[in-house]
Structure 1
Amino acid sequence: MSKKRILVISQYFYPEQFRINDICAEWVKRGYDVTVVTGYPNYPKGEYYKGYGWFKRTKQRWKGVKIIRIFLLSRGHGAVRLALNYLSFVVSGFVWAFTTKIKADYVFTFEVSPMTQALLGVWYSKRRKIPNYLYVQDLWPENVETVTGIHSPLVIKPIRRMVDHIYKNCDIIFATSESFVKEIRKRLRVNKDRVRYLPQYAEEFYKPVEKRSVPEIPDDDSFKVIFTGNIGQAQGLDILPRAAQLLKNENVKFIIVGDGREKDNFLGQIEKYGVKDMFVMIDRQPAERMPEMLCSCDVAFLSFADNKLWRMTVPAKLQSYMACGMPIIASANGETKSIIEQAACGVCSELGDAKALAESIIKMRESDIEKMSENSTTYFFDNYEKKKVMDKIDIFFK
């Protein structure tokens, strides 16, 4: 019997660090023939990775996955350049979808912003008359309004029509939170049950490791709060320098591992509040290093900017933190808060409330964080373990 062929559409792929990398590698292990259509890697800094760029390394193999890179303008800096980045992938994808000779049995689009990339899956699946699956990580047009601040009907209505068109032409729509499922179902006129909840998992290398010193992190007796990942507008990290100012007389350090478009602004906030000595900034690291960095600290932190959309969002780092058995401090409401409280693995404070966050950190320092650590791991294996999540997708590839 020949292998089932999965065509994956994802604007971001290896060496960029997104979970779709691991999903594709797992499909190869499960016996599928996997081809990924993606762009030139440039996330999160907005600059092409070394060795990549205009028409360089357009075809690759990685862990058995065939990679096809179509033209993509780098993100650069500023809203106009970002819009051109989104547009370039769609234009390149339109040409590719209607000219490629590659055949597949299924299309699977991994949708983090921009949603526009899902058009490639629609075009290709219609041409080949095959099932089209969509995995929604970012809700549009809500994400556009939240991130850009644009609410004009002249902009939002066309985006909404595009999203409706994409949803209409998907056989199954997976969504990363129960709240997303409800919102998407509201948009559908028929077959609402084709929207399915599919939580994110953490790669298998995310697991508790023995606490040990890491060169980049001070080996002292401070209470260490670590954040890993993208430093962007959505993460709402501006709350940390404000909370740190309130904790200047406490032995607390904030370990920030990552990079992103808002990093310079974040560093400016640290300077503004006079808390530079309380922060350790570490550049983006390979994902495989995250467990040792997490487990060298006391608690892990996540937050959002204060917005309705983020209350419906469950960030991928929550699963990664839980898989490593990390107690969690969160400045979050909505579904993320509900999960942390249900798991009894941490403390949540109100979005944007620096005073409440500072109090939460003190509370965590005096709590039974070992018990929270155990709860975190238990909840992860009960709800987000990789095999369980992948098996749910597998049902639709038979």
Structure 2
Amino acid sequence: MSKHILVYSQYFYPEQFRINDLCLELVERGFKVSVVTGVPNYPEGRFYKGYSWRENRNEIWNGINIYRMPIFSRGQSKIRLILNYFSFVISSKLLERTLPKDIDAIFTYEVSPMTQALPAIWYAKKMKVPSYLYVMDLWPENVVAVTKIKNKIIIDAIGRMVDYIYKNTTTILASSERFVDAIVNRNVPEKKILYWPQYAEDLYEIKEKNNQEVISEYFDEMTFVFAGNVGEAQGLGILPEAAKHLMEIHIKVKFVIIGNGRYMSQLLDLIKKLGVSEYFYFIPRQPATDIPYYLAKFDVALITLNSSEIYDMTIPAKTQSLMACGKPLLVAANGEVQEIVRNSASGLYGDAGDVEKLVSNIIKFYEMTEKDLERLSKNSKKYYDTNFDKKQLMDKLEWLLRGC
């Protein structure tokens, strides 16, 4: 008889998160999977067409039963976001009677908010089954970094909630090794925690540079591509600053930005202010399936982050995707991602916000031969295959869940 895993994830198909692929893989491996989620509204902050508190509340997607809880959409304000977080908790608790009873374990996919783990824990206790928590956003550190909250009473309250969640979870999976250390520092037994990094979906693989699947301009200059959310956390303001320095020493490169986000207008303003528009080329947000084809057309992939306690412990999700596509990496971020680039010999790195180091690294790339770049590309893919391979990681998760 197949094991039945009930997944709690506030985001799920048609929203694009890796939990979609993880659930499909579990089904492929013989598990029965059901998902408790919200009405899809990420990232725009409004409900997707065809979905509401009444429409498509329950559906089946590729053999997965989806139970959608009525929630407030994220909107564009902090108040709406708070309502979004807590409405999921309340709805999931009040409507738990509608959820399946024949479950063997509960798995919570924790990208913010961590509050979504509360109804998962409560239902696991009620059904007397083990609960697994996959931590990809560390709280309260993430809340402090994003909201800039400094009120000790609020931070302590969030911390107590986090401690309650950790204490009442059977097994915690952490997406970075520094997360393991941070969780242990909250008096959680180390034997309860498992390092389980993210993998890249199968669509992320090396493509031909001259592929015709996507169309992009051709540049004579060396190209550095950033693909993903253009938000405050990504620290992309460092790029116009670097471009200004490069312009002064007459080195021409092109920064290709694929995506959009809340920081885009500020980024464009900074580019205009510094007079470096010729150094940038923008491509609107693209379907995930097209990204590997775009990546193939450009020379080096960028990973940038602002500096904060939480970001310095995080492995950006794009790291695995870029390495699976065999991209040489240029990093302007602190912490574990630097260690990955150093250990893999897949590129160059500097600290978050360090414009001088970024410029120095760009010049080094600028002086590299095709053979040098090819070597970095091979190292990147080799490291991915050894450390982030999907099959190896899913084998480990399957072993864990079959023991429940």
Letter in 1 for 2:295: L
**Partner SS, residue 302 of structure 1:** strand
Find out whether 1:226 has 2:225 as its counterpart: yes
Q: In structure 1, what is the equivalent of residue 66 of structure 2? A: 67
- Unpaired segments ≥5 residues, structure 2: none
Using the alignment, how far apart are the partners of 1:148 and 1:264 within structure 2? 20
TM-score after normalising by structure 2 = 0.94
Contact 2:67–2:99 (8 Å) recurs in 1: no
Q: In structure 2, what is the equivalent of residue 380 of structure 1? A: 384
Q: In structure 1, what is the equivalent of residue 35 of structure 2? A: 36
User: Deviation at 1:213?
Assistant: 5.6
Find out whether 1:105 has 2:96 as its counterpart: no
Counterparts of 1:80-229 in structure 2, within 5 Å, are 80-98=79-97, 100-189=99-188, 191-212=189-210, 215-229=214-228
Q: In structure 2, what is the equivalent of residue 17 of structure 1? A: 16
**Partner SS, residue 94 of structure 2:** helix
User: Deviation at 1:247?
Assistant: 2.5
User: Deviation at 1:101?
Assistant: 4.4
**Partner SS, residue 187 of structure 1:** coil
Letter in 2 for 1:298: D
User: Deviation at 1:337?
Assistant: 0.2
Q: In structure 1, what is the equivalent of residue 337 of structure 2? A: 336
Range that drifts further, 57-66 or 126-135: 57-66
Find out whether 1:50 has 2:27 as its counterpart: no
Letter in 2 for 1:133: Y
Using the alignment, how far apart are the partners of 2:343 and 2:293 within structure 1? 26
Q: In structure 1, what is the equivalent of residue 288 of structure 2? A: 287
Length, aligned pairs only: 396
User: Deviation at 1:307?
Assistant: 1.1
User: Deviation at 1:292?
Assistant: 0.5
Letter in 2 for 1:53: S
Range that drifts further, 322-331 or 286-295: 286-295
Range that drifts further, 256-265 or 289-298: 256-265
Deviations 1:59-86 (A, max 9, x none): 2222222222111222221322221221
Q: In structure 2, what is the equivalent of residue 396 of structure 1? A: 400
Contact 1:45–1:259 (8 Å) recurs in 2: no
**Partner SS, residue 3 of structure 1:** coil
Counterparts of 1:212-291 in structure 2, within 5 Å, are 212=210, 215-248=214-247, 249-291=250-292
- Unpaired segments ≥5 residues, structure 1: none
User: Deviation at 1:45?
Assistant: 2.4
Range that drifts further, 85-94 or 139-148: 85-94
User: Deviation at 1:216?
Assistant: 4.8
User: Deviation at 1:237?
Assistant: 1.4
Letter in 2 for 1:335: E
Using the alignment, how far apart are the partners of 1:238 and 1:85 within structure 2? 29
**Structure 1 segments (4+ residues) deviating >6 Å:** none
Using the alignment, how far apart are the partners of 2:52 and 2:294 within structure 1? 31
User: Deviation at 1:55?
Assistant: 2.6
Note closer, same or farther for the CA distance 1:118–1:252 as it changes in structure 2 (3 Å cut): same
- State the identity as a percent: 47
**Partner SS, residue 230 of structure 1:** coil
